[in-house]
Structure 1
Amino acid sequence: MKTTAKKMISALFSAPQLCVIAFMAFAVSPSARADAIAFGQEISIPKNTASGTILARHYITPQQACGASKCTVQGIQAYPDGGGTPSTSTVITTNVSGISTRLWINGRAYGTSYPGVAFTQPIEVQLLSDGRTNLGGSLAGVHTSPYYYSLNIKENFNSTFYIYMRGNITPINGTCSVPNQTVKLPKTLLNRLDRIGSTAGTQSFQIQINNCPKGYNRIGYTLDPVGGVIANSPGVLPLTGGSSASGIKIRVENAQGAPATMGTSVTVAGYNKAAGGSFAIPMQASYIRTDATATPGTVNGAMTVFLDYR
């Protein structure tokens, strides 16, 4: 009698909470060489957040900054409180107590400086909690010329690009909570994953978002794979510690089996500003074969759930 050894794989997938308030993105309408107005609307923000927490992000494309796909910033002037004396600090105050701002280019923060840096990806204007009491109010600035940043961009032929900020900050008492959880996928035979892209061992789970207070205009969540997003592999998590299999990873999917959106804020459906509440987001996870050669063993992956508020 001929017997065949069963090659098994197993997985442990964890989705830990990280109580960080971050990643609020606002759309920017590109127009060549126009000054930028960041935010420009009502922004509801948790009142008590740790100093340094990113509260909001506004993106400015190269097309908007210089009318091309690549811009070169020769000089930057950063103005605390929207005017006055320039500062070399990479974090400057706004005129709203508790809220500071930071200019982020190519993964680096800049104050007043002459960096000579080129960018092809959007630059960011960030709002940060700075440890002062968040009293709310308008971001418009307190000086005669209330811009927060001025950029000398080579492609603009000596014309200065100004970054203003608008919008009203409303502090809200309280945030939602996301409990940690571990999702165990069933053991699966390796021969069920017979080609690249094949999946098996689907396990349903839910992301729980609990006890959201009233008052926010929008609450969103962002799924962030531990180890980073894998290019051209939507929803796939990098292997984490304790993994012994190779060529196999875990893919996180929505309830319909489509790859989950990673790295982008998704609105929590059903949240109502007047009511608040708790919400369950149905998801599922599966093994996925990612390489031509695969070996059995344990497959571990993890992702962080970030919450953002507006």
Structure 2
Amino acid sequence: MNSTKAMTTGREDGIKLIGKRSVKHVGAWMLQTLCAGLLMLCSIHAQADYVHLPYNKGWTANFDNLSFSASFSASRDVPVGTVLQSVNADGKISYSNTCPVTKTVTVSGTPVPGMADTYQTNVPGIGVHLYVTAGWSGGNYTSVPSTEVLGLSSSGPTNFYTRADLVVTGPIGNGTLTTLPSMTISYSGTCIDDPNYISPHMQALNPGTTIIGRTCSVTTPSVDVTLPTVFPSNLATGSAGATPFSLGVNCTQGVTVKVTLTDASNAANTSTTLSLAPNSSAAGVGLQILSGSTPIAYGPDSAVAGNVNQWTAGTTTGDPMNIPFTVRYIRTTGAITPGTVKGAATFTMSYQ
């Protein structure tokens, strides 16, 4: 009896000891497994939402700088808004997001007054307009600065372009581009909280492009034309006394020369008849200036491309250029009164 009791107690004690060790071991294994599961879940959450841009360089780097040509020439009066050159680059992008993401693009530079999203450079008449891919990716551009809210999506790597246009903002001067705008692209969203994925990415432009403004010099700044004496009967057909004259310009090759004649006695005149100067004594007659057989209409004194009644004289070859004209008397309304006929016109050259 005593022996049996002792053996039973020993087995019970042994069972209890084994059970205690077993519970402790299993519990520790379960805790370790739980912790590993939590760590794994945290790791998956951190990697689930991201924006890798620029993909080709790692998502914390800036874009490579864009470069315009080393040098090029442009005529002085090219129309404002003309794009002289456009350059772009594909930085590629990879992204995955489970929440709306805001893409913000800012520009560092001085805006050109009156020209949306165009920024000044140090060369007169030259500005820069910047663009980025619209939305998440693709080939469509959006002008910057801009803010877009992008929907849930996942893709990559795929195309992501940046672009810069060299734009005419006024009469073009000469110089080397040293002051240029830059843009910065950034993303934000509640599901993207890793600083590596939302770091701003800058797009800059390389300086050093030389701009050569093509200009001309007028070799006949003023011309006096003496018309012959005519009688009222000479105007029976409507005109008389045709007399040739010309204007001279000297330009580099490839400049399109355009001309505007302005009535010095009546700046608002847009007809083809030049008003008589106040010191004229004749009446019922006016003056008409022709290019070839075409009467020239008058317009405002301006070199701006597209000025009212501006017309094309020709494109230069690099040699001196003469622009031929003819001036004649022209019959106007009312009775003809004999006397002196005087008129004055100014001319404005536009080099495009």
Q: TM-score range by the shorter chain?
A: 0.3 to 0.5
Q: Structure 2 length as normaliser, TM-score? A: 0.42
> Greater Rg, structure 1 or structure 2?
2
Q: Which has the higher helix share?
A: 2
**Larger relative contact order (CA 8 Å, sep ≥ 6):** 1
TM-score (norm 1): 0.47
